[in-house]
Amino acid sequence: MNYIDTKIKTSALVLSEVDMEEIKQLKNSSKKDMQEGALPDSLSLCKECCIAIVDDEPINIKVAQKYLEMDGYKNFVTTTEPQNALSIFRKSPPDMILLDIMMPEISGIDLLRTMRDDETLSHIPVVILTASGSAELKKEALDLGANDFLAKPIDPNELLPRVRNVLALKKYQDQLSEYANNLENIVLQRTEDLNLSRLELVQCLGRAAEFRDNETGQHVIRVGRYVNLIAQELGFSKAECELHEMAAYLHDLGKIGVSDAILLKPGRLDDKEYEEIRRHAKFGKQILEPASKKEADSLFSHSEIGSKILGGTTSPLLLLAGRIALTHHEKWDGTGYPMGLSGESIPIEGRITAVADVYDALSSKRPYKDAFPLEKCLAILREERGIHFDPQVLDAFLNRIEDVLEIQMEYSDNG
């Protein structure tokens, strides 16, 4: 049978010839099922779904739509021009498609193939309308993701339950997708909350040490922000910049192990006192590094946790913070402490924090000095380029001096 003969046969069924009494009985049966709770509530929602019908014969569309309207469906998108179907679907995706196979210009198989390659349309269920009994054609359609078949001429006893089942499954899949999206949003929100809590905890811990010799504890915040700026200028990723900022908040955590008499001394430190305060770099590293098995056992059995509270960590944040705490007093020329490292043997995070920490110390009031003016601070930094500081890191800091001043004002000790 050729294409024209098939169309004549499948179009021969006109609405006036349909057994209207059979349709009414089917409709009443469906209503009774809904009233008795035989169908889930989600199926009643399917009546609001949008059904697309693509057939090059208007009478076929009219018949299928009439059957569906009598069963309570209200929303339809129809076209007799298959070449326009994709643009219609992309503009307003339907919930399901009744798709004729044998059409001129573009066949239903071609449309189905294109849809399954289109991310916006691939999820839409498709029921194939065909007068052909070809097993090969059906296999091809199934391989392309067709959900069901309806033989022409359309029998309402097959059409209505098949459409109902396809839409019910689509509704269920949509609900699962919505649930997954909501769950993902909840996870993202919880992750954001956890990151915020971690940030606040790190800031509080850094401030706890800084309050030993600073009335506001804003020093650690400023140093962290400066570190972030320098890391940006050096080309670090956003995530790396944020990690370095948080780790830098803990750069002076080792001051917990230094006595108040030394930290708060208003005058110059003698050699013994200076040696004592230099130990804070190692103290900080010891607090932040993983504990030995013996120390870990002690943590669980002893109530005096003290400075071991962060022991045993494998956290990238705390491991980075430990390296910063240990090396931020090293100098480019090797005259720093506690290990006398030089050049690039000093971890980059230590070199970055060194610049940020020294600038903040120069520009802030301390028990032993008043804050220096900006010009003097920058002059001292430049003098130490290639001596105390990595030249590349110092240049990165100076390139962002306007941003540095904004941070300095925002987190002023007097603010």
Domains within the chain, CATH numbers bracketed: 3-182 (3.40.50.2300), 211-410 (1.10.3210.10)
Spacing of C-alpha 283 from chain mean position: 37
Return the SS3 of 53: strand
Residue 94 CA: distances (Å) to CA of 46, 77, 126, 300, 327:
12, 8, 10, 61, 62
Q: Residues with catalytic annotation?
A: 255
Cis peptide before 82 (omega within 30 of 0): no
Residue 155 DSSP class: P
Per-residue DSSP letters for 167-211?
HHHHHHHHHHHHHHHHHHHHHHHHHHHHHHHHHHHHHHHHHHHHT
The strand pair at 126-130 and 96-100 is best described as parallel
Could you give the strand order of the β-sheet that contains 96-100, starting from the edge strand earlier in sequence?
75-79, 50-54, 96-100, 126-130, 148-151
The H or E element that residue 359 is part of is helix 348-363
CB of 381 within 8 A of CB of 390? no
Whether the model clears a pTM of 0.75, i.e. scores above it, the answer is no
Whole-angstrom distance, CA of residue 17 vs CA of residue 38: 32
Per-residue pLDDT tens digits of the chain, which is 415 residues long: 444 344 433 443 333 344 445 445 544 544 454 444 444 455 556 788 999 999 999 999 999 999 999 999 999 999 999 999 999 999 999 999 999 988 888 899 999 999 988 888 989 999 999 888 788 888 888 888 898 988 889 999 999 999 999 998 888 888 888 888 898 888 888 888 777 777 777 767 666 666 655 545 688 889 999 999 999 999 999 999 999 999 998 887 776 666 666 666 666 766 676 666 666 666 656 666 655 555 445 434 333 333 344 444 567 888 898 889 889 999 999 999 888 999 999 999 999 999 999 999 999 987 668 899 999 999 999 999 999 999 999 999 999 999 999 999 999 877 5
Structure confidence at residue 10 (pLDDT): 40
C-alpha 112: how far from chain center: 33
